[in-house]
Amino acid sequence: MSGGVLQRSGTRHTVWRFRNRTVRYRPGDALLALRARRGPVTRLRVGSRDVAFLLGPEANRFVFANSHLFRWREAFQSLVPVDGPTALIVSDGAEHRRRRRLVAPAMHHRQVARYVTTMAASADEAVADWRPGQVVDVYATFRRAVLRSTLESLFGRRLAADTAFFGDHLEVLLRLLDPLPQLNGPRERLATPLWRRATAAREVVDERIRNEIARVRGGIVDSDDHVLAALVNGVDEEGTALSDAEIRDQAVSLIAAGYETTSAAMAWAVYAMLSTSGVWDRARAEVLAECGEEPPTAAALKRLTFLGGVVHETLRLYPPAVLSARTAAVDLTVAGQPVRAGTTILFSPYVTHRMPGVWAEPLRFRPERWDPASPVHERPTTATYLPFAAGPHRCVGSVFATTELTVMLARLLTRTSLRLVPQWIQPTSFAAMRPRWGLRAVVCPGRG
């Protein structure tokens, strides 16, 4: 399996050559250069706002070790139109701790293991109609598959039956976060067409979720209402439960994250496997050795060491969140530089994951670096590998996402064989880095 991206040649007529290389994201590379020139802290004044870029492992370590010095709600205010005002990512302090206590048990790895069969079935359904010689958009195909898998795994077949409905309306909502979520304030004040479409989309999504909450509260509970029932019926040790509005926000956050970030990571994983010599074949051989033609079990996933490395290496080179944010709650001193209270703090998984000296050959896709038995193994820390952040605000769906990626890749490797076609691959979006024009591949005869 081979492939790559297109590169323009300097001929009289524009010619595109297909060449293997690691896709770069221009804004992220600008930050990488900023880190090389200015060190871990760069302070700027953007309009009336103080902004500080804290870049690299030492900066990450400071942010994660001192969560009490930061606020989240202000930093992620731009996500409220999509995720809602009580979503975990925009919650602070005691409210965040209370909500997380009620959401986290439903996303525990023991619960996620129950969803493997659904994840595999969604992947199988996605590729069932592919035929040799057909050119397919792998990103678009698995974007739908990931959404269906997420809906059915977490919220049951009732919501999964409305996959197209959720896809259509979430697509409109998520465009509020692309390219600059900070524009949502002006969009709202000016009632732009995008804002009006997104508001209408949110209303119908909210109505659908509210109907499901009312059903479960009324005692009509299906056997696959896993997370929804847990959110509705969950009570913490202090006897508090989530309100309907809180349940809506947690549900939509989980659905939207799967739709946007996991589907993007799936596309980059397929791209990396097809554009890096030998990776597809080695990953496929491992899957067949452990699982044969059958879908993987939760136990088998633990033995897919190389494929697990593919997933982790994808999240290293192509982290969905290029930037993450906090707001300084108090005056700080970071790496000897003062940072005033109220400053917007921006740190970057993309920068850290591609820094020379932090990772050996950082731009090389190398799944072996994640295998403890490999001579090139590199042991990550929360400061050097942070696709899901760290600390009390670590992504509550991280286990679900990595499991879903591994299962779907395993089924793709088993069920089909692909080859990238010439195309221009350009990363886009600040909210979840994805291939702007999808990822096209031709289905090859045979399997593997």
List, in order, residues 6 or more apart from 233 with CB less than 8 Å away: 216, 241
CA distance 362 to 354: 5
User: Would you place residue 107 in the very low, low, confident or very high pLDDT band (cuts 50, 70, 90)?
Assistant: confident
CA angle 86, 339, 74 (to 5 degrees): 15
Range of the domain at 288: 5-443
Which residues sit opposite 52 in a β-bridge? 43, 345
In a domain, 358, yes or no: yes
**Residue given tokens 């994640």 in the structure block:** 370
What local confidence, expressed as pLDDT, does residue 105 receive? 86
Give the CATH number of the domain where residue 380 resides.
Answer: 1.10.630.10
CA separation for the pair 149, 213 (Å, rounded)? 20
Cβ contact 306:282 at 8 Å: yes
The tally of domains found in the chain comes to 1
Number of neighbouring beta carbons within 10 Å of residue 93: 13
Closest-CA residue to 264 (of 180, 320, 324, 322): 320
pLDDT at 13: 37
Give the pLDDT score at 308: 98
Q: Write down the pTM of the prediction.
A: 0.93
Q: Which residue has the tokens 């600390």?
A: 391
Residue written as tokens 């994250």?
A: 257
Rg of the chain on CA atoms, in Å: 22
Largest pairwise CA distance in the chain: 73
Phi, psi angles (nearest 5°) of residue 85: -75, -10
Could you tell me the two tokens for 170?
């979430």
What pLDDT, in 10s, does the model give residues 377-434? 999 999 999 999 999 999 999 999 999 999 999 999 999 999 999 999 999 987 789 9
In a domain, 184, yes or no: yes
Query: 215: pLDDT confidence band, cut at 50, 70 and 90?
Result: very high
180 vs 166: which has the higher pLDDT:
166
pLDDT of residue 2: 45
46 in any annotated domain: yes
Sign of the dihedral defined by the CA atoms of residues 176, 177, 179, 185, in that order: positive
Helix (H) or strand (E) holding 65: helix 57-65
The answer to whether residue 92 sits within a structural domain is yes
Domain presence at residue 85 = yes
d(CA 179, CA 166): 21
Q: Is residue 448 part of a domain?
A: no
Is 71 within 8 Å of 341 (Cβ atoms)? no
Q: Are strands 344-347 and 324-328 parallel, antiparallel or unpaired?
A: antiparallel
Q: Is residue 205 part of a domain?
A: yes
β-bridge mates for residue 332, sequence order? 339
